[in-house]
Amino acid sequence: MNEWDFTRIYKDLNAFEEDAKKLSEDIDGYNKFKGKINDEKSLLDFLNYDEEVVGNFSKIYTYASMFYDQQQKEPSRQKVYATANDLYAKYVQVTSFASSEILALGEENVKRFVNENKELTKYAYPLDKIFHNQSHIFEPKIEEIMANYVQVTNNYNRLYDMLAVADGKSSSVKLSTGEEIEVNQSNFRQYLATLKNQDDRRIVFEAVFKGFEAHKNTFAGIYNGIIQSDYAEAKNRKYNSILESFLYGNNIPTDVYLSLIKTVRENTDVLKEYYALRKQYFGLKELHTYDRFLDFASTDKKYTYEEAKELFFESVAKIGGEFEKVAHEVLAEGRVDVYPHEGKRTGAYSTGYYKEGPFILLNHTGMLDDCFTCAHEAGHSIHTTLANANQPVATADYTIFVAEIASTFNEQLLLDHLLSKTTDKETRLVLLQSAIDGLIATFYRQTLFADYEYQAHKLVEEGKPVTVDVFSSIMKDLYLEYYGIDLNNEPYKEYVWAYIPHFFHSPFYVYQYATCYASSLQIYDMVKNNVPGALDNYLNMLKAGGSDYPVEIVKKGGVDLTTPEPFMAVCKRLKELLEVLKNELK
């Protein structure tokens, strides 16, 4: 079975609808706590009730989002997904009183409750976070008013999905060979890597990005609405900046974000050197963004999904033990939706909920990159499984800040395994290119996007107008700064900001790909070199789930992200890989 087995969650759609109806009633049940969280017992009762409701909601939302993402064009599935989003908006609205009432108990009293009542121990960290955020939480009436706007702002996300995916269509293009191919967001990257004719690559690229250009003003309006909503939230909650509003809750210093951008901006020379090498090697008069994926090695090898899994299993066997066992579990039948088709969400992810565990979405097309994607998403699922097995519901969910460590750790594990299997020059070139392009995509590219988000939001904070031209101008400047590529010579690429779903769904998310990559590189290096305690430290970090502030959890794995050293290590790694590639190309 290469599709999700939805019966692992609900036997049918009727069962989902019954649960959704019951959850709506359970959310109404919060009203019995309103104005009554005033002592140790009422606090415990509320937290236990909330844990049960949130657990049920996680089940409902996991099912709804997976069901929708498998075929976003079907109205019936859109309705299921909307139901889950509406329930979330209702939950936020109805429970808006809770934090204020808990704060009213007083930090010292709550700490005493936790110390004296073992049943409250599992809630120690979530309660600590509430008091950490207390300067940005208001009296219940104000919280209720602010919660009323959640559903309105969430509609921007839905509008983006409708425009970018549901209304999107495949395009038929004719290549220089006379061959006609169907191109869409799911498959165009594989053509850019394999088509030898530059004009063919241009045609394929433009077939996808023309759609973003055609709706540029609508995309800009949606994105502006999201940024304005972020700004309103930051102002209302009295944060110093929009950036702080997204980082403060997890106690992440804004200096971590800004240090990342600063370090990468100061180390783009090696990136430009790599693209200069590409331009020279392929004999291009001018390097365009759609030329960045050309394969150095001429190989037609494709990897079935079964082969991708087996390669991953071989790589984790070198670690063995509990890690290897869980790696097999997360790729079991019915847990992975493998192949792309029109209407299916693009990209890949791991999702899930506490009781049933993780599920993975892929869009496997047989490329080498797909093997690494399989390993990457399995890393997320391994993390989820270990956290769930070692944490109560209240602290099982880890934050985005640590989420990409396990995934990129797996990528490096697979890379070393594949490099150790072959001395064939062509295959080694493919692997080295994959390693370099993967590093650039995860570290440099995501930092570029983080830089973009920071600048776009900063303009709104400064009261400056943000239009489609402004959004595109920022992107042009950044591509020149980071890559040395002038987007003025490349129609449509300036609208790449509209292509990135994270900008619309998860503001200030992408920087964490870069920080996590830096962390995983350092952790993997310690594990690979058998540093005493390194593997145990890594597994303990994964098992910690969301039981502490993320910077502290990463420290459990042996990495301090409050310093620039982890970021510099990635830049150094790129230089090393580039030198190896140069030698292989001789």
Are 528 and 241 in contact by the 8 Å Cβ rule? The answer is no
- Please, which residues bridge with residue 336 across strands? 360
From first to last of its 586 residues, the chain has per-residue pLDDT tens of 799 999 999 999 999 999 999 999 999 999 999 999 999 999 999 999 999 999 999 999 999 999 999 999 999 999 999 999 999 999 999 999 999 999 999 999 999 999 999 999 999 999 999 999 888 888 878 887 887 777 777 788 888 888 887 677 788 989 999 999 998 887 888 889 889 999 999 999 999 899 899 999 999 999 999 999 999 999 999 999 999 999 998 999 999 999 999 999 999 999 999 999 999 999 999 999 999 988 898 677 889 999 999 999 999 999 999 999 999 999 999 999 999 999 999 899 999 999 999 999 999 999 888 999 999 999 999 999 999 999 999 999 999 889 989 998 999 999 999 989 888 888 889 899 989 998 999 999 999 999 999 999 999 999 999 999 999 999 999 999 999 999 999 999 999 999 999 999 989 999 998 999 999 999 998 999 999 999 999 999 999 999 999 999 999 999 999 899 999 989 999 999 999 999 999 8
Long-range contacts: 527-533, Cβ < 8 Å, 24+? 527/319, 528/416
Q: Tens digits of per-residue pLDDT, 281-297? A: 999 999 999 999 888 98
Number of residues that this document lists for the chain? 586
> To which H or E segment does residue 70 belong?
helix 40-70
Please, which residues have CB within 8 angstroms of residue 282's CB and are 6 or more apart in sequence? 291, 294
Could you read off the pLDDT of 417-472 as tens digits, one per residue?
998 988 888 888 989 998 999 899 999 999 999 999 999 999 999 999 999 999 99
CB atoms within 10 A of CB 56: 19
| Per-domain residue ranges of the chain | 6-148, 172-299+427-586
Residue 293 confidence (pLDDT)? 87
Sign of torsion over alpha carbons 6, 60, 351, 231? positive
**The amino acid at 306:** E
Q: Do the beta carbons of residue 330 and residue 385 sit within 8 Å? A: yes
Report the alpha-carbon distance of residue 385 to residue 380 in Å, rounded.
9
Element housing 561 (H / E): none
Range 6-148 classified under CATH 3.30.420.40: no
In DSSP notation, 291-338 reads GTT--SS-------HHHHHHHHHHHHTTT-HHHHHHHHHHT-TTSEE-
Distance of alpha carbon 24 from the chain centroid? 29
What pLDDT does residue 42 have?
A: 98
Distance from C-alpha of 513 to C-alpha of 519, rounded to nearest angstrom:
10
Whole-angstrom CA distances from 378 to 4, 253, 408, 448, 524 are: 15, 29, 10, 26, 16
Picking from 106, 136, 33, the residue whose alpha carbon sits closest to that of residue 114 is 106
**Confidence (pLDDT) at 358:** 98
C-alpha distance from residue 236 to each of 155, 232, 253, 505 (Å): 20, 6, 20, 21
**Cβ–Cβ contacts within 10 Å for residue 18, how many?**
12
What are the two backbone dihedrals, phi and then psi, of residue 361, each rounded to the nearest 5 degrees? Answer: -105, 130
CATH of span 172-299+427-586: 1.10.1370.20
pLDDT value for 297: 86
Please answer whether residues 359 and 4 qualify as being in contact, where contact means their C-beta atoms are separated by less than 8 angstroms. yes
Q: Is 182 helix (H, G, I), strand (E, B) or coil?
A: strand
Residue 294: per-residue pLDDT: 87
Is this structure's pTM higher than 0.85? no
Q: 352 pairs with which residues across the strands?
A: 358
Backbone angles phi, psi at 240, to 5 degrees: -75, -20
